[in-house]
Amino acid sequence: MPATAAKEATFMNTDLPLLAGLPYRVANLDADTVRFGRKELDLALVEMPGLAALREEYAGKKPLEGAKIMGSLHMTVQTAVLIETLVELGADVRWVSCNIFSTQDHAAAATVVGPNGTADDPKGVPVYAWKGETLPEYWWCTLQALIWPDGSGPNLILDDGGDATLLVHMGSEYEASGTIPAVDSTDNEELQCVLQVLHDVRQAKGDKFWQTMAASIRGVSEETTTGVHRLYERVENGTLLFPAINVNDSVTKSKFDNVYGCRHSLVDAIMRATDVLIAGKKALVCGFGDVGKGSVQSLQGQSARVAVSEVDPICALQACMLGLDVVRVEDVAQDFDIFVTTTGNKSIIGVEQMKQMKHNAIVCNIGHFDNEIDIGDLEKLVASGEVEKIEIKPQVHEYKFKNTSHGPNGGGHSILILAEGRLVNLGCATGHPSFVMSASFTNQVMAQIELHKNAESYGKSVTVLPKHLDEKVARLHLAKFGAQLTELTEEQAKYIGVPVAGPYKAEHYRY
């Protein structure tokens, strides 16, 4: 890490100046770490045909020239390929992870160094991310990635979960109102960090910093369900400050990332974390949307006995049609060995259910944020002495209940919490495979190009990429499988009322 400037006031407990002006902040730039990261990037690009095709299509054309893109998305090997694709297309990029546990440190190092730099002479992209950040460090990193060396901000955001978008909006709204809530007005640790950032920035930069930054942002492309939900809420209440493209609901994102990605990476994470045999275990998947569907397939692939919980009657009926039991968490907490939350909602599994669980039941989340499992209330029991928290290894903790009687020899039972309730596939494994992320990230690049060209035509709205671009993303990946598409004749196309070259489905079609 580069040395910090002269000692000054630091942000919360990070020992880092609020406005540090550092060119990057990663775990390390050791030559071996950089070499490992670069080799993984080279291998990943072969498995990311969509991004490779966009690099070829736009070679020498620089469609993102003039774009200043702040990215807030898991700093993985696959993300590094995305970042370097944006750079090849002409963008000026700064990056932060969107999760305190998801960074792959060798990928971050390789991205900072770049394809033409060295550990001693980095020539890549400013990255502020390392695995195992604290929450204050996480929000510090987000702020650093939003501020360019000349003090300006981005003109585009590439977001995953909406944290960068949230910070800009909250900062702008509190500047407009003239009042920022006190940090101790909430007991939510993450919100406390956000409020502290806003108070400290106001003190350092005055009361127009965020409004000035927001005015320069032409749009955001959002990667995931929760972030998209936040955006639609802002449209409904009239507070969205700039156009947004909903990447999550492109079919080649939602089905491929959420279904097929989770199908691959959920059991990978559970097995890396615990080494338990999944076959024969009873597993409860909370939620049967796209992420839940992929998670069920993942567990069934290891011959687990799977049930789901659902609030949506259509999703519940789909589960029934696949022979899955649909149950309520509170009714069966004592019966299952593995619990996986996938909903994007909050308080799906609470401490009352945890108290009932089998000894050494495994509890994890593959939804975006950390509030599906009620870790906050569980930590309160730790603080009061009712539960003992034991680290088995990083991102794997045993919580031993002292006042229950269904553990060994009639004593207290334990449960195993993975990744502290955050994304288990990124906290305990390496996330989705490169090919799946190629589909997601090809959508992201096309969304960024569209915003850079035409943001003002969208107004303050949330838009899904048009169907023909969704089909383009799919086409770019078919050759990897040797797939040969059938071609419609003019007569056939006329008969079903579609163009010969597509798109082939109506916008309302559900794949």
- Active site members: 74, 97, 102, 160, 223, 248, 253, 257-258, 262, 368, 432, 440, 444
What whole-number distance in Å separates Cα of residue 198 and Cα of residue 209?
10
User: Torsion over CA of 192, 195, 200 and 206, rounded to 10 degrees?
Assistant: 180
Q: Where are the alpha helices (DSSP H) in 69-149?
A: 77-88, 105-113, 135-146
SS3 assignment for 272-311 = HHHCCCCCCCEEEEECCCHHHHHHHHHHHHCCCEEEEECC
Element containing residue 468 per DSSP (H, E): helix 467-478
Distance in angstroms (rounded) separating the CA atoms of residues 121 and 407: 56
- The SS3 call for residue 441 is helix
The H-or-E segment that residue 237 falls in is helix 225-237
Rounded-to-integer distance, Cα 453 and Cα 457, Å:
9
For strands 244-246 and 282-286, give the pairing: unpaired
Is residue 168 within 8 Å of residue 209, measured between CB atoms?
no
Are 511 and 479 in contact, with CB atoms under 8 Å apart?
A: no
What does the DSSP assignment read for 320-349? HHTT-EE--HHHHTTT-SEEEE-SS-S-SB
- Per DSSP bridges, beta strands 127-128 and 92-96 are parallel
Please give the Cα distance from 63 to 86 (Å, whole number): 9
Contacts of 275 (CB under 8 A, 6+ apart): none
